[in-house]
Structure formats: C-alpha cells, structure tokens
Amino acid sequence: MTSQWEAQDKVFLITGGASGLGAEYVKIFLQLGAKSVAVLDIAEAASKTFVASLNEKFPGKAVFIKCDVSKEDEIKTAFQQVLYENKQIDVIINNAGVINESLDQWRTASEVNWQGVVSFTLKGMEHMRKDKGGTGGTIINISSIAALCKYPIYPTYCGSKIAVLHFGQTLSMPPFFDSTGVRILTICFGATVTPLLENLRERMFDRTLYEPFTTEVDVSSYQRIDSAVKAFVKMFQEGEPGSIWLSIHNKPGIDITSDINQAFDEFKMKWIL
C-alpha cells in the first residue's frame, strides 16, 4: 500500500485514549513510528500515569490533554492545543464511547458517542482538506455491531452507533476524497473485552421489559483486545476511503462496505426510486 497509509512520522489525536482499546491504539501507533500521539481523556490521574509510562519508552512522543468529548468548548480547546503543539494533525481516532441508558445519563452518552464524533470529524476535515491548503489525512470513527443489530436493552447506544456509521459513509461519498484528500474510515466492533462492557446490567434500558435479553453473557465469547487491535491496524493500513470494516469473534478485520452499500441500494431501489 502507499506510504500515505503508514503511521510513520504522523501526528495522532485519539479520544478516550487512556484505557481500553484507545490505549492500545496509542501504543501500537507509537510502535509503528508515529511522530506524536495526543491522548485525550477525562480520567486525569490514570491518563498522566499512562502517558508518563509511554514517554519512558518513546521520549516526548505522547501528551495527555484532558477533554470531555460531550462538551464542545473542551473539544475546541483540545483540538487547538494539539495543533499549537504539532502544527498539524494527520490522524484522528474518535474512540471515546460510553453505554448508559439511564434517564439521567442517556443524553451525555449520546453526546459522547455521536456529537463528539461529528465535532472532531468536522474540525479535522477542515484542517486536513487539501482543497483548503491542508495536507490530507485520516479520520477513523468507531461504530459497533450495535449499529447492525437490534439490542432493545441498549436503544440509545444502538442509535448513536448507526448514526456514526451512516455519517461516515454519507460524508465520504465521491468526490469527497478526491477533492479533500481526507480518508474517512468506520469500524464496527463486536463484543470485546474492554471496560466498556463491565457491569452492563446496571446501564441497561428497563430490564423488566426485555428479560430474555438481560441474561448475563459469557465473557469468554467476547473478542480479545489483541484481535480487535490487529483488525484496526489492518483497516488503517489497507482501508479505502469511505470504507466500513467489521471486527468480530477474533477473526481478521473485514471490509463490509459492499454489504452495507447493497443493503442501502436495495432499499432505495425498492421504495425510493
């Protein structure tokens, strides 16, 4: 593949980058030669400890910026700080995500999972686009198997993740990449062993309505973190602009763009045209 899709000497911005899959992305891209990685997270103490450990192995290449991606003012400040320190951003990974269907938390969860993704994507696009003087780049948005299946105990989460998927595929339609040089990628993960899936029963939507769906899932069936990371790197290195990928059951990452397009096209042909 063209060197355009290599991590070497690239500046990365990764949200939710201090734990779970986000922390693994930080580590793998530093290993692959990233010039700098900005770790955005809300867990200040844990993030500082994590970044300090990274800089022992990769001196001066990791920086922590506290950022709550549900808050637009913090997004703006963090984005500008990364730009100020690095002059440019080559790769944005919108990884931050939460699952919480409670009546007092669903809005914040939606802002993290959806509106924060849109905000960083649009800011990154304006900075990167070649038709406005930028140098191009890659923006990766994290969707989920929840975008492709129906889980009634997580309706808000499912809704936000299908929004992320449709946002990416719609935004990146031709001639977007040819004009801007900005590659939009979307990946859907199946259940993976990360903190996101801990104590899920406490964050479900009304368990009494959907009792058959609330049985505890066998954690041994979850995808391993290392498998998910391999799929992610494969997508980064090989993914065509606008493509959508699937990582599930410890299998190699697979480009499912044609399947998604076919589903939309069949509906359009049957009902719209």
Active-site position among 25, 154, 157, 210: 157
Residue 213 has pLDDT above 50, yes or no: yes
Among the listed ranges 13-22, 141-150, 214-223, which one has the minimum average pLDDT value?
214-223
Residue 214 has pLDDT above 60, yes or no: no
CATH superfamily of 3-272: NAD(P)-binding Rossmann-like Domain (3.40.50.720)
Residues 6+ apart with CB under 8 A from 59: none
How far apart CA 201 and CA 25 sit, in angstroms, is: 27
Angstrom CA distances, 179 to 7, 115, 140, 175, 249, stand at 22, 25, 18, 6, 37
Q: Give the chain's mean pLDDT.
A: 91
Burial of 104 (0-12, 13-18, 19+ CB in 10 A): exposed
The length of the chain is 273
Residue 264 has pLDDT above 90, yes or no: yes
Provide the b/e sequence for 207-241 (b: ≥16 CB within 10 Å): eeeeeeeeeeeeeeebbeeebbbbbbbbbbeebeb
Question: Is residue 206 within 8 Å of 266, Cβ to Cβ?
Answer: no
Q: Retrieve residue 82's tokens.
A: 């990364």
Q: Is 199 left (phi over 0), alpha (psi -120 to 50) or beta?
A: left
Predicted local confidence at residue 243, as pLDDT: 98
Mean pLDDT of 218-241: 89
Mean pLDDT of 229-246: 97
Among the listed ranges 41-50, 76-85, 208-217, 261-270, which one has the minimum average pLDDT value?
208-217
Residue 112 CA from chain centroid, whole number: 11
Please choose, from the candidates 131, 146, 123, the residue with its C-alpha nearest in 3D space to the C-alpha of residue 192. 146
130 φ/ψ angles, rounded to the nearest 5 degrees? -70, -30
Q: Retrieve residue 200's tokens.
A: 């899920």
Question: Is residue 119 within 8 Å of 67, Cβ to Cβ?
Answer: no
Residues 6+ apart with CB under 8 A from 105: 203
Please say if 25 is a catalytic residue.
no
